[in-house]
Amino acid sequence: GNSVTQMEGPVTLSEEAFLTINCTYTATGYPSLFWYVQYPGEGLQLLLKATKADDKGSNKGFEATYRKETTSFHLEKGSVQVSDSAVYFCALFPSGGSYIPTFGRGTSLIVHP
């Protein structure tokens, strides 16, 4: 079956540090890949997505590149802010018309001033 593996958290950084959250996946074909963010007390919001190999999704200074050869979709940001503190989920929607997405377990990010 499909699976998504994220690095375990929490990830603790100082403001303006570089962020990487690793995500790898297992799926057949060409799934669509997503990063969602969950701020405290809220639901998940789509942060960025990529639908085919070598696509780069970007939003709010975050980026992730769909790497088919390494089955990865790592999230990066050059300079984090305190307001980026949240839980980040990597997810995939399989190809072939399936309606069931697969989520990673989430990575908590804590940014200190």
Partner 1 sequence: NAGVTQTPKFQVLKTGQSMTLQCAQDMNHNSMYWYRQDPGMGLRLIYYSASEGTTDKGEVPNGYNVSRLNKREFSLRLESAAPSQTSVYFCASSEAGKKLFFGSGTQLSVL
Nearer of residues 43 and 113 to partner 1, judged by Cβ = 43
Q: Strands, E, within the chain: which ranges?
A: 3-6, 11-14, 19-21, 23-26, 32-38, 44-50, 56-59, 62-65, 75-77, 86-93, 102-103, 107-112
2-61 residues near partner 1, rule: CB under 8 A: 32, 34, 36, 42-46, 49
Nearer of residues 17 and 58 to partner 1, judged by Cβ = 58
Q: Contact residues for partner 1 (CB under 8 A)?
A: 32, 34, 36, 42-46, 49, 89, 91, 93-94, 97-101, 103-106
